[in-house]
Amino acid sequence: MEESAILLIACPDRVGIIKEIAGFIADNDGNIMHLDQHIDRQANTFLARVEWDISGFRIPKERIKEEFSRIAERFSMNFSLRFSNCTPKVALFVSKQDHCFYDIMHRFKSGELKGKVKLVISNHEDLKPISDFFGVPFFHIPKTKENKESAEERELKLLREHDIDLIILARYMQILSPRFVHEYPNRIINIHHSFLPAFPGAKPYHRAYKKGVKIIGATSHYVTEELDQGPIIEQDIIRVSHRDTLEDFIRKGKDIEKIVLARAVRWHLENKILVYDNKTVVFT
């Protein structure tokens, strides 16, 4: 399979941006495979994702970023460049619940998700056997109110050592400090077990049950300083009825959590998500 380059671009809108991008690619013998462009009319902002075949591209892979920067500057672009053949390095954070953990590990193992899980960090030891089965190093870092700062220091050290690109909170029941979050902007994906903005914070299924909703949901989002307020990446829902107990809410919700988290991770790894005004543009 050929290799491709993927550009995500945001900039003030004006005439001729696509001409310039498409020219840069065609003039160097690249063939565009996907181009998806969108204008936010209110903000007059140009948003696009371009993917092109770089087998035979005249600019060597390692110099594409530099060469494109000249165009980027001219149009005041924010852009990110990635290559389809690269393998992002991933860290998973888990606590005691294993459904998202199993699910995401299996997706990486089967090749459905393109990336390499380098390590698993948990505040409990319960899920170590699963980590072992999948052959991924497991680090047990307990957290208490007292040791939170030093525990995070250990975590950050591990993440840096492994050169982690993406952190997945697979039902990790701890809140990360602002300092931690700032080190990985738009690179920490959390799954929250409610249909946000309904029921942020603790025990969303309990509150949904008490409220008598007819549908429950799950939301994957990038982690920001404010709890459960980061840019939403994906949501999905499932019906419940009066016949469902609180335990049924929790059980049914798990299936949605797994899927909603996996989609977000997939889109992130495929460089399909552009964060913008605390919202996401997902080029699917």
Q: Is 228 a catalytic residue?
A: yes
- Binding of a second copy by 102 (CB under 8 A): yes
Stretch that binds a second copy, among 66-74, 104-112, 119-127, 142-150 (CB under 8 A): 104-112
Stretch that binds a second copy, among 74-82, 85-93, 146-154, 253-261 (CB under 8 A): 253-261
- Binding of a second copy by 217 (CB under 8 A): yes
| Nearest CB to a second copy, comparing residues 159 and 196 | 196
d(CA 116, CA 89): 5
- Binding of a second copy by 241 (CB under 8 A): yes
- Binding of a second copy by 144 (CB under 8 A): no
Which amino acid makes up residue 54?
I
Could you tell me the CA-to-CA distances from 278 to 4, 37, 161, 230 in Å, in that order?
A: 28, 19, 29, 7
Residue with tokens 């462009």: 37
- Binding of a second copy by 67 (CB under 8 A): no
Least separation, in Å, of the C-beta of 38 and a second copy? Answer: 6
Catalytic one of 29, 53, 98, 228: 228
Residue with tokens 């429950």: 216
- Binding of a second copy by 280 (CB under 8 A): yes
Stretch that binds a second copy, among 65-73, 88-96, 139-147, 195-203 (CB under 8 A): 195-203
Instruction: Number of residues interacting with a second copy: please give it, by CB under 8 A.
Output: 68
Core vs surface per residue 53-88: b (16+ CB within 10 A) or e? bbeebebeeeebeeebeebbeebebebebbebeeeb
Among 58, 74, 179, 251, binds a second copy (CB under 8 A): 251
Least separation, in Å, of the C-beta of 40 and a second copy? Answer: 8
- Binding of a second copy by 11 (CB under 8 A): no
- Binding of a second copy by 72 (CB under 8 A): no
List the interface residues with a second copy, window 12-41 (CB under 8 A): 13-19, 22-23, 25-27, 29-39, 41
Query: Which active-site residues does the annotation give?
Result: 228
Residues that bind a second copy (CB under 8 A): 13-19, 22-23, 25-27, 29-39, 41, 47-48, 98-99, 102-103, 106, 110, 112, 133, 195-199, 211-215, 217, 231-237, 241-243, 245, 251, 254-255, 259, 262, 277-282, 284
